[in-house]
Structures are given as C-alpha cells and as structure tokens.
Amino acid sequence: MNRLFGSKSTAPKPTLDGAISKVDDRVSNIDVKLAALNSELSTYQAKLSKMRDGPGKNALRQKALKILQRRKQYEAQRDQLSQQSWNMEQAGMMQDNLKELDAMKTTTKELKKQYGKVDIDKIEQMQDEMADLMEVGNEIQESISRAYDLPEEVDEADLDAELEALGEESMFDSAIGEDAVPSFLQDEVAPPQFIDEPPEQAKVKEAAGGLG
C-alpha cells in the first residue's frame, strides 16, 4: 500500500527562514568559487603581460577567456540568488507585519470589551466618596490627637495662694512629725519579729520609761 499511495512524510515542513538560510549558503559558496577564479585570472594576466605575441600567448588567452566566462556565469547565479534571498526576506517582513497587525486587532477588541464595561460616572462617584471619607478620617485623627495642655496665661494671685497653701501644709506636716514617736523608739517598743507571743504590757511601759 505504501508503494502505491506513498507514506505520510514525517519531515518538518520548510520554513521561510530555512529557505533564506539555504540560499545564503549557496551565495557564500559561489563567492568562494569567484575568489578562486579571480586569483586564476590574475595569474594568467601576469603571465600574458610578460609573453610575446605568438601561439603560446594565444593559447593562454583562450584559457583566460574560459575562466572569465565561468566567472560571469557564477556572478549571474549569485545575483539571482541574492535577489531571491532579498525577495524572501521582504516576504518574511510582510508576514511579520501581518502577524503584528492581527495581534493589534485582537488587542483592540479586548480593550473595547474591557473599557466598554467601565462606568465613568461610578468611578467619579467612588472618588468623591473616598475624598469625603479621607476628610472624616482627618477630622477624627485631629480630635483623637488633641493635646490637653495647661492654659498659657497664669493668674499670679492664684499662684501665690497655691504656694502659700503648700507652705502651710509643709509646716503642718513638720509639727505633726515632732509630736510623733521617733523611729528608733518605734523599733524599741514594737515586738520583735522572731517571737511568737507579744510582750506583756507592763514590760513595754517600763522599757519606754527607762529610755526617757
């Protein structure tokens, strides 16, 4: 069956870039051959310039003419291949441009769908609401961070009265301190911390009288 109808080819399909690369390779090979022919022609030219007219010189000229004909053929082939490569490159650029154009069309359609769903009035309303909320938030912040400082102006009469009252209170505390039992007497009268039972009342009085 494969012999009659053939089998499906599994080779990759040729691409435009691959074709351009092959043509460029052929042009490079022709350039190598042209360089060799030019070198050979230069050799013939140097020999002919030193030879006298005669059969030998004519034979050498015929060889040089054949080399020149081959060079012209190669040059024509190179020009054709170069033009072919150029045409394919232009076709590739047009293909890329078409792809980019299709991508732009697709993007434009998507943008129209997205922006078509946007309500500008709702956006502006949302912006106004955000501005109002920000203003309320600033007012709340100012109210919370308000400082409860003392008044800048102080009444000197009130200050003098306050200082005088503080002085009298200090003197009163000093007088009370003089009538109080000294700390060392409090330590003597107070029961020691290491006994379980308090001392008898009579012994406490005797101890206090002896100290006086």
Residue 63 lies inside a defined structural domain of this protein: yes
| Cα 27 from Cα 81, distance rounded (Å) | 6
**Which stretches does DSSP call E strand in 3-120?**
none
Q: What is the pLDDT of residues 162-186, one digit of tens each?
A: 667 776 666 666 655 555 555 555 5
Give the helix, strand, coil percentages of the chain, each rounded to 5.
80, 0, 20
**59 lies in some domain:** yes
Which DSSP state fits 108? H
Q: Is residue 77 part of a domain?
A: yes
In a domain, 97, yes or no: yes
Q: What is the mean pLDDT of residues 149-163?
A: 62
Determine the average pLDDT of the residues in 37-51. 87
pLDDT score at 146 = 66
Q: In this structure, is residue 193 part of a structural domain?
A: no
* 26 falls within a domain: yes
40 occurs within a structural domain: yes
- Number of folded domains that form the chain: 1
Asked, for residue 94, whether it belongs to a domain, the answer is yes
Q: Which domain holds residue 105?
A: 15-116
